[in-house]
Structure 1
Amino acid sequence: MKKVISTGMMAAAVLFAVACNQEKGAVEEAQETNEQMVEETSMEDQMTEMSDFMTKAASGGMMEVELGKMAQEKGQHADVKSFGQMMVTDHTKANDELKQLASQKNVTLPDSMGEKHMDHVKELQEKTGAEFDKAYMSLMVDDHEEDVKMFEDAAENMQDADVKAFASKTVTTLRQHLDRAQQIDSTLQAQK
Protein backbone atom coordinates (compact mmCIF):
# COMPACT_ATOMS: atom_id res chain seq x y z
CA MET A 1 0.00 0.00 0.00
CA LYS A 2 2.82 2.41 0.86
CA LYS A 3 4.47 1.62 -2.45
CA VAL A 4 1.27 2.49 -4.36
CA ILE A 5 0.88 5.80 -2.51
CA SER A 6 4.56 6.62 -3.01
CA THR A 7 4.38 5.80 -6.71
CA GLY A 8 1.22 7.88 -7.04
CA MET A 9 2.84 10.87 -5.35
CA MET A 10 5.88 10.62 -7.63
CA ALA A 11 3.65 10.48 -10.70
CA ALA A 12 1.73 13.54 -9.48
CA ALA A 13 5.00 15.43 -8.96
CA VAL A 14 6.16 14.61 -12.49
CA LEU A 15 2.81 15.68 -13.97
CA PHE A 16 2.95 18.92 -11.98
CA ALA A 17 6.46 19.64 -13.26
CA VAL A 18 5.37 18.97 -16.85
CA ALA A 19 2.28 21.18 -16.45
CA CYS A 20 4.37 24.02 -15.02
CA ASN A 21 6.79 23.73 -17.94
CA GLN A 22 3.95 24.01 -20.46
CA GLU A 23 2.85 27.32 -18.95
CA LYS A 24 6.16 28.95 -19.74
CA GLY A 25 6.47 30.79 -23.00
CA ALA A 26 8.97 29.89 -25.68
CA VAL A 27 11.13 32.92 -24.89
CA GLU A 28 11.31 32.04 -21.21
CA GLU A 29 12.15 28.41 -22.00
CA ALA A 30 14.93 29.45 -24.39
CA GLN A 31 16.32 31.87 -21.81
CA GLU A 32 16.30 29.16 -19.12
CA THR A 33 18.13 26.77 -21.44
CA ASN A 34 20.70 29.45 -22.14
CA GLU A 35 21.06 30.30 -18.44
CA GLN A 36 21.77 26.66 -17.64
CA MET A 37 24.45 26.61 -20.33
CA VAL A 38 25.86 29.93 -19.09
CA GLU A 39 26.23 28.62 -15.56
CA GLU A 40 28.60 26.04 -16.97
CA THR A 41 30.86 28.67 -18.57
CA SER A 42 33.19 31.25 -17.09
CA MET A 43 31.73 34.15 -19.11
CA GLU A 44 28.38 34.24 -17.35
CA ASP A 45 27.60 37.96 -17.66
CA GLN A 46 28.59 38.17 -21.31
CA MET A 47 26.59 35.05 -22.22
CA THR A 48 23.52 36.23 -20.28
CA GLU A 49 23.62 39.63 -21.96
CA MET A 50 24.04 38.04 -25.39
CA SER A 51 21.31 35.46 -24.75
CA ASP A 52 18.81 38.07 -23.52
CA PHE A 53 19.39 40.26 -26.54
CA MET A 54 19.17 37.40 -29.01
CA THR A 55 16.03 35.80 -27.56
CA LYS A 56 14.19 39.14 -27.43
CA ALA A 57 15.31 39.96 -30.97
CA ALA A 58 14.10 36.56 -32.19
CA SER A 59 10.67 36.99 -30.62
CA GLY A 60 10.32 40.51 -32.02
CA GLY A 61 11.46 39.38 -35.45
CA MET A 62 8.89 36.60 -35.53
CA MET A 63 6.17 39.11 -34.61
CA GLU A 64 7.27 41.49 -37.37
CA VAL A 65 7.02 38.73 -39.98
CA GLU A 66 3.63 37.51 -38.71
CA LEU A 67 2.16 41.01 -38.59
CA GLY A 68 3.70 41.85 -41.96
CA LYS A 69 1.83 38.92 -43.51
CA MET A 70 -1.33 40.06 -41.77
CA ALA A 71 -0.87 43.61 -43.10
CA GLN A 72 -0.58 42.30 -46.65
CA GLU A 73 -3.86 40.40 -46.25
CA LYS A 74 -5.92 42.75 -44.07
CA GLY A 75 -4.43 46.13 -44.89
CA GLN A 76 -6.67 48.56 -46.70
CA HIS A 77 -4.14 51.28 -47.57
CA ALA A 78 -1.53 50.49 -50.25
CA ASP A 79 1.29 51.87 -48.06
CA VAL A 80 0.30 49.54 -45.22
CA LYS A 81 0.37 46.54 -47.56
CA SER A 82 3.76 47.53 -48.96
CA PHE A 83 5.14 48.15 -45.45
CA GLY A 84 3.93 44.69 -44.48
CA GLN A 85 5.81 43.19 -47.42
CA MET A 86 8.96 45.05 -46.38
CA MET A 87 8.59 43.67 -42.84
CA VAL A 88 8.29 40.09 -44.10
CA THR A 89 11.30 40.43 -46.42
CA ASP A 90 13.65 42.32 -44.09
CA HIS A 91 12.78 40.56 -40.85
CA THR A 92 12.87 37.09 -42.43
CA LYS A 93 16.41 37.89 -43.57
CA ALA A 94 17.40 39.25 -40.14
CA ASN A 95 15.77 36.26 -38.41
CA ASP A 96 17.77 33.86 -40.58
CA GLU A 97 21.01 35.72 -39.80
CA LEU A 98 20.16 35.68 -36.10
CA LYS A 99 19.50 31.92 -36.18
CA GLN A 100 22.87 31.33 -37.81
CA LEU A 101 24.63 33.57 -35.27
CA ALA A 102 22.84 31.89 -32.36
CA SER A 103 23.94 28.50 -33.64
CA GLN A 104 27.56 29.69 -33.76
CA LYS A 105 27.31 31.06 -30.22
CA ASN A 106 25.43 28.04 -28.80
CA VAL A 107 22.45 30.21 -27.87
CA THR A 108 19.00 28.63 -27.94
CA LEU A 109 16.39 30.84 -29.58
CA PRO A 110 12.66 30.58 -28.90
CA ASP A 111 10.63 28.65 -31.46
CA SER A 112 7.66 30.99 -31.05
CA MET A 113 6.94 34.54 -29.94
CA GLY A 114 6.92 35.67 -26.36
CA GLU A 115 3.68 36.59 -24.62
CA LYS A 116 4.00 40.34 -25.25
CA HIS A 117 4.43 39.81 -28.98
CA MET A 118 1.62 37.22 -29.15
CA ASP A 119 -0.71 39.72 -27.46
CA HIS A 120 0.03 42.25 -30.22
CA VAL A 121 -0.77 39.65 -32.89
CA LYS A 122 -4.04 38.67 -31.19
CA GLU A 123 -5.04 42.32 -30.80
CA LEU A 124 -4.54 43.05 -34.49
CA GLN A 125 -6.28 39.85 -35.64
CA GLU A 126 -9.53 41.35 -34.36
CA LYS A 127 -9.24 44.53 -36.43
CA THR A 128 -10.13 45.14 -40.07
CA GLY A 129 -9.96 47.90 -42.69
CA ALA A 130 -8.89 51.39 -41.68
CA GLU A 131 -9.00 50.41 -38.00
CA PHE A 132 -6.43 47.67 -38.69
CA ASP A 133 -4.24 50.03 -40.73
CA LYS A 134 -4.08 52.66 -37.97
CA ALA A 135 -3.52 50.15 -35.17
CA TYR A 136 -0.85 48.28 -37.14
CA MET A 137 1.11 51.39 -38.10
CA SER A 138 0.88 52.83 -34.58
CA LEU A 139 2.24 49.55 -33.22
CA MET A 140 5.01 49.53 -35.84
CA VAL A 141 6.13 52.99 -34.73
CA ASP A 142 6.17 52.02 -31.05
CA ASP A 143 7.78 48.65 -31.68
CA HIS A 144 10.50 50.01 -33.95
CA GLU A 145 11.32 52.76 -31.46
CA GLU A 146 11.94 50.03 -28.86
CA ASP A 147 13.87 47.90 -31.36
CA VAL A 148 16.13 50.75 -32.43
CA LYS A 149 17.01 51.47 -28.78
CA MET A 150 17.67 47.79 -28.03
CA PHE A 151 19.83 47.27 -31.13
CA GLU A 152 21.70 50.57 -30.64
CA ASP A 153 22.50 49.53 -27.09
CA ALA A 154 23.74 46.13 -28.29
CA ALA A 155 25.76 47.72 -31.09
CA GLU A 156 27.48 50.01 -28.59
CA ASN A 157 27.80 47.84 -25.49
CA MET A 158 27.73 44.16 -26.45
CA GLN A 159 31.03 42.48 -25.61
CA ASP A 160 30.79 39.76 -28.26
CA ALA A 161 32.13 41.20 -31.53
CA ASP A 162 29.90 39.07 -33.79
CA VAL A 163 26.70 39.95 -31.94
CA LYS A 164 27.78 43.59 -31.83
CA ALA A 165 28.30 43.55 -35.62
CA PHE A 166 24.89 41.93 -36.19
CA ALA A 167 23.19 44.58 -34.03
CA SER A 168 25.06 47.41 -35.74
CA LYS A 169 24.15 46.17 -39.22
CA THR A 170 20.52 45.48 -38.32
CA VAL A 171 19.88 48.79 -36.55
CA THR A 172 20.37 50.64 -39.85
CA THR A 173 17.45 48.72 -41.36
CA LEU A 174 15.37 49.20 -38.22
CA ARG A 175 15.86 52.98 -38.41
CA GLN A 176 14.63 52.92 -42.02
CA HIS A 177 11.58 50.92 -40.89
CA LEU A 178 10.91 53.41 -38.11
CA ASP A 179 11.13 56.40 -40.48
CA ARG A 180 8.76 54.78 -42.97
CA ALA A 181 6.36 53.65 -40.22
CA GLN A 182 6.22 57.21 -38.85
CA GLN A 183 5.46 58.60 -42.33
CA ILE A 184 2.64 56.13 -42.97
CA ASP A 185 1.27 56.48 -39.43
CA SER A 186 1.21 60.28 -39.79
CA THR A 187 -0.67 59.99 -43.11
CA LEU A 188 -3.23 57.60 -41.64
CA GLN A 189 -3.75 59.64 -38.48
CA ALA A 190 -4.44 62.74 -40.62
CA GLN A 191 -7.30 60.87 -42.32
CA LYS A 192 -10.38 60.96 -40.13
Structure 2
Amino acid sequence: MKKLVILSATVLAVWMTPSCGNNAKNAQSEKPVDSAQDINETVKPVDEKSSQFAVDAANGGMMEVAMGKLAQEKAQNERVKAFGTMMVNDHSKAGDELKALAEKKGITLPAELSTEEKKHIDDLAKKTGKDFDKSYIDMMVDDHDKDVKEFEKASDNVTDEDLKTWARNTLPTLKAHQDSAKAIKDGWKK
Protein backbone atom coordinates (compact mmCIF):
# COMPACT_ATOMS: atom_id res chain seq x y z
CA MET A 1 0.00 0.00 0.00
CA LYS A 2 2.86 2.37 0.86
CA LYS A 3 4.41 1.71 -2.57
CA LEU A 4 1.07 2.45 -4.26
CA VAL A 5 0.76 5.84 -2.48
CA ILE A 6 4.35 6.78 -3.38
CA LEU A 7 3.83 5.63 -6.97
CA SER A 8 0.55 7.56 -7.24
CA ALA A 9 2.14 10.69 -5.79
CA THR A 10 5.08 10.39 -8.20
CA VAL A 11 2.81 9.87 -11.21
CA LEU A 12 0.64 12.81 -10.13
CA ALA A 13 3.71 15.04 -9.65
CA VAL A 14 5.16 14.06 -13.02
CA TRP A 15 1.81 14.59 -14.70
CA MET A 16 1.25 18.05 -13.09
CA THR A 17 4.76 19.41 -13.63
CA PRO A 18 4.49 19.86 -17.40
CA SER A 19 1.00 21.23 -17.00
CA CYS A 20 2.10 23.82 -14.43
CA GLY A 21 5.14 24.69 -16.49
CA ASN A 22 3.02 25.31 -19.54
CA ASN A 23 0.66 27.53 -17.59
CA ALA A 24 3.59 29.55 -16.27
CA LYS A 25 5.01 29.84 -19.77
CA ASN A 26 1.63 30.87 -21.14
CA ALA A 27 1.17 33.44 -18.40
CA GLN A 28 4.62 34.87 -19.05
CA SER A 29 4.29 34.90 -22.80
CA GLU A 30 0.82 36.44 -22.70
CA LYS A 31 1.89 39.37 -20.56
CA PRO A 32 4.24 41.00 -23.10
CA VAL A 33 1.69 40.46 -25.85
CA ASP A 34 -1.00 42.11 -23.72
CA SER A 35 1.37 45.00 -22.91
CA ALA A 36 2.18 45.48 -26.59
CA GLN A 37 -1.52 45.45 -27.37
CA ASP A 38 -2.13 48.04 -24.64
CA ILE A 39 0.59 50.28 -26.12
CA ASN A 40 -0.88 49.95 -29.61
CA GLU A 41 -4.28 50.90 -28.26
CA THR A 42 -3.05 54.03 -26.46
CA VAL A 43 -0.61 55.23 -29.14
CA LYS A 44 -2.48 55.27 -32.40
CA PRO A 45 -0.64 56.49 -35.47
CA VAL A 46 -1.31 60.11 -36.31
CA ASP A 47 -1.83 61.10 -39.92
CA GLU A 48 0.62 63.40 -41.72
CA LYS A 49 -1.68 66.45 -41.64
CA SER A 50 -2.17 66.19 -37.86
CA SER A 51 1.52 65.58 -37.25
CA GLN A 52 2.57 68.51 -39.44
CA PHE A 53 0.13 70.81 -37.65
CA ALA A 54 1.66 69.81 -34.29
CA VAL A 55 5.21 70.41 -35.54
CA ASP A 56 4.30 73.80 -37.04
CA ALA A 57 2.42 74.84 -33.90
CA ALA A 58 5.37 73.85 -31.70
CA ASN A 59 7.81 75.80 -33.87
CA GLY A 60 5.58 78.87 -33.90
CA GLY A 61 5.03 78.67 -30.16
CA MET A 62 8.76 78.45 -29.45
CA MET A 63 9.29 81.53 -31.61
CA GLU A 64 6.57 83.45 -29.72
CA VAL A 65 8.24 82.58 -26.41
CA ALA A 66 11.72 83.59 -27.63
CA MET A 67 10.45 86.88 -29.05
CA GLY A 68 8.39 87.51 -25.92
CA LYS A 69 11.52 87.15 -23.80
CA LEU A 70 13.29 89.56 -26.10
CA ALA A 71 10.40 92.04 -25.69
CA GLN A 72 10.58 91.72 -21.91
CA GLU A 73 14.24 92.74 -22.11
CA LYS A 74 14.34 95.30 -24.89
CA ALA A 75 10.90 96.91 -25.23
CA GLN A 76 10.68 100.57 -24.34
CA ASN A 77 6.89 100.75 -24.24
CA GLU A 78 5.29 99.19 -21.12
CA ARG A 79 2.38 97.76 -23.15
CA VAL A 80 4.88 96.01 -25.42
CA LYS A 81 6.74 94.59 -22.39
CA ALA A 82 3.47 93.35 -20.91
CA PHE A 83 2.52 91.81 -24.25
CA GLY A 84 5.90 90.02 -24.31
CA THR A 85 5.22 88.62 -20.84
CA MET A 86 1.81 87.41 -21.98
CA MET A 87 3.44 85.69 -24.97
CA VAL A 88 5.97 83.89 -22.78
CA ASN A 89 3.35 82.73 -20.27
CA ASP A 90 0.59 81.71 -22.69
CA HIS A 91 2.77 80.11 -25.36
CA SER A 92 4.85 78.24 -22.76
CA LYS A 93 1.65 76.79 -21.30
CA ALA A 94 0.31 75.84 -24.74
CA GLY A 95 3.70 74.40 -25.68
CA ASP A 96 3.76 72.20 -22.59
CA GLU A 97 0.27 70.94 -23.38
CA LEU A 98 1.29 70.20 -26.96
CA LYS A 99 4.48 68.39 -25.85
CA ALA A 100 2.47 66.11 -23.57
CA LEU A 101 -0.04 65.42 -26.33
CA ALA A 102 2.68 64.80 -28.92
CA GLU A 103 4.48 62.39 -26.60
CA LYS A 104 1.24 60.47 -26.11
CA LYS A 105 0.70 60.40 -29.89
CA GLY A 106 4.27 59.51 -30.82
CA ILE A 107 4.86 62.81 -32.65
CA THR A 108 8.41 64.16 -32.61
CA LEU A 109 8.36 67.91 -32.09
CA PRO A 110 11.31 70.17 -32.87
CA ALA A 111 13.68 70.69 -29.95
CA GLU A 112 14.81 74.10 -31.21
CA LEU A 113 13.71 76.82 -33.57
CA SER A 114 14.07 76.44 -37.30
CA THR A 115 16.72 78.44 -39.12
CA GLU A 116 14.06 80.81 -40.47
CA GLU A 117 12.67 81.59 -37.00
CA LYS A 118 16.19 82.05 -35.59
CA LYS A 119 16.86 84.62 -38.34
CA HIS A 120 13.69 86.56 -37.42
CA ILE A 121 14.79 86.65 -33.78
CA ASP A 122 18.34 87.70 -34.67
CA ASP A 123 17.01 90.49 -36.89
CA LEU A 124 14.67 91.68 -34.16
CA ALA A 125 17.40 91.53 -31.50
CA LYS A 126 19.47 94.05 -33.48
CA LYS A 127 16.76 96.70 -33.08
CA THR A 128 16.40 99.06 -30.14
CA GLY A 129 13.93 101.53 -28.65
CA LYS A 130 10.82 102.48 -30.59
CA ASP A 131 12.17 100.70 -33.66
CA PHE A 132 12.22 97.43 -31.68
CA ASP A 133 8.74 98.00 -30.26
CA LYS A 134 7.24 98.75 -33.68
CA SER A 135 8.98 95.82 -35.40
CA TYR A 136 8.00 93.39 -32.65
CA ILE A 137 4.34 94.40 -32.63
CA ASP A 138 4.19 94.37 -36.45
CA MET A 139 5.58 90.83 -36.39
CA MET A 140 3.10 89.79 -33.68
CA VAL A 141 0.12 91.15 -35.64
CA ASP A 142 1.22 89.35 -38.82
CA ASP A 143 2.13 86.16 -36.97
CA HIS A 144 -1.13 85.99 -35.02
CA ASP A 145 -3.17 86.71 -38.16
CA LYS A 146 -1.49 83.65 -39.69
CA ASP A 147 -1.78 81.56 -36.50
CA VAL A 148 -5.49 82.23 -36.06
CA LYS A 149 -6.16 81.11 -39.66
CA GLU A 150 -4.06 77.95 -39.18
CA PHE A 151 -5.72 77.04 -35.89
CA GLU A 152 -9.20 77.67 -37.30
CA LYS A 153 -8.35 75.41 -40.21
CA ALA A 154 -6.91 72.76 -37.86
CA SER A 155 -9.99 72.96 -35.63
CA ASP A 156 -12.03 71.73 -38.59
CA ASN A 157 -9.62 69.70 -40.71
CA VAL A 158 -7.13 67.90 -38.47
CA THR A 159 -8.22 64.26 -38.24
CA ASP A 160 -6.71 63.49 -34.83
CA GLU A 161 -9.44 64.37 -32.32
CA ASP A 162 -7.06 65.24 -29.47
CA LEU A 163 -5.07 67.67 -31.63
CA LYS A 164 -8.29 69.11 -33.01
CA THR A 165 -9.53 69.72 -29.46
CA TRP A 166 -6.19 71.29 -28.46
CA ALA A 167 -6.37 73.62 -31.48
CA ARG A 168 -9.94 74.63 -30.60
CA ASN A 169 -9.02 75.24 -26.97
CA THR A 170 -5.94 77.30 -27.92
CA LEU A 171 -7.72 79.42 -30.52
CA PRO A 172 -9.39 81.89 -28.10
CA THR A 173 -6.00 82.70 -26.57
CA LEU A 174 -4.51 83.31 -30.01
CA LYS A 175 -7.42 85.59 -30.90
CA ALA A 176 -6.88 87.53 -27.67
CA HIS A 177 -3.19 87.91 -28.59
CA GLN A 178 -4.18 89.06 -32.08
CA ASP A 179 -6.56 91.66 -30.66
CA SER A 180 -3.99 92.89 -28.11
CA ALA A 181 -1.24 93.26 -30.71
CA LYS A 182 -3.60 95.15 -33.04
CA ALA A 183 -4.75 97.42 -30.20
CA ILE A 184 -1.15 98.31 -29.36
CA LYS A 185 -0.37 98.96 -33.02
CA ASP A 186 -3.53 101.05 -33.52
CA GLY A 187 -2.74 103.05 -30.37
CA TRP A 188 0.46 104.32 -31.96
CA LYS A 189 -1.39 105.70 -34.99
CA LYS A 190 -3.30 108.22 -32.87
Deviations 1:33-72 (A, max 9, x none): xxxxxxxxx96xx521111101111111001001101101
- Could you say which residue in structure 2 is the equivalent of 1:175? 175
Once the two structures are TM-superposed, the CA of residue 120 in structure 1 deviates from its matched residue by 1.3
* Matched AA of 1:133: D
Q: Does 1:51 align with 2:51?
A: yes
Uncovered stretches (5+) of structure 1, i.e. residues with no partner: 1-41
Aligned partners of 2:47 and 2:159 also within 8 Å = no
Letter in 2 for 1:139: M
Q: Deviations over 1:15-36 (max 9, x none)?
A: xxxxxxxxxxxxxxxxxxxxxx
| Corresponding residue of 2:141 | 141
Note the C-alpha offset of 1:84: 0.3
Q: Which residue of 2 aligns with 1:160?
A: 160
> Given the two structures, how large is their TM-score scaled by the length of structure 1?
0.74
Structure 1 stretches of 4+ moved >2 Å: none
Alignment partner of 1:113: what SS? Answer: coil
Paired with 1:166 and 1:118, the residues of 2 have a C-alpha distance of 26
Structure 1 residues 1-40: aligned runs within 5 Å: none
Give the drift of 1:116.
2.3
Q: How far apart in 1 are the matches of 2:170 and 2:116?
A: 22
CA distance in 2, matches of 1:146, 1:120: 16
Q: The residue matched to 2:47 in structure 1 has which SS?
A: helix
- 1:73-129 Cα offsets, whole Å, 9 max, x none, are 100000000000000000000000000000011000000112221121011010000
Distance in 1, matches of 2:177 and 2:186, equals 14
Bigger radius of gyration among the two: 2
Aligned to 1:82: 82
1:140-173 deviation per Cα after TM superposition (whole angstroms, max 9, x unaligned): 0000011001111000111111000000000110
Distance in 2 (CA, whole Å) between partners of 1:144 and 1:51 is 21
Q: Under a length normalisation based on structure 2, what TM-score does the superposition of the two structures give?
A: 0.75
Report the residue type matching 1:163 in the other structure: L
Aligned residues: CA RMSD: 1.4
CA contact (8 A) 2:50 2:163 kept: yes
The equivalent of 1:150 in structure 2 is 150
User: Could you tell me which residue of structure 2 aligns to residue 10 of structure 1?
Assistant: none
Unpaired runs of 5+ in structure 2?
Answer: 1-43
Task: Return the alpha-carbon distance in structure 1 between the equivalents of residues 187 and 76 of structure 2.
Answer: 13
**Aligned residue pairs: how many?**
147
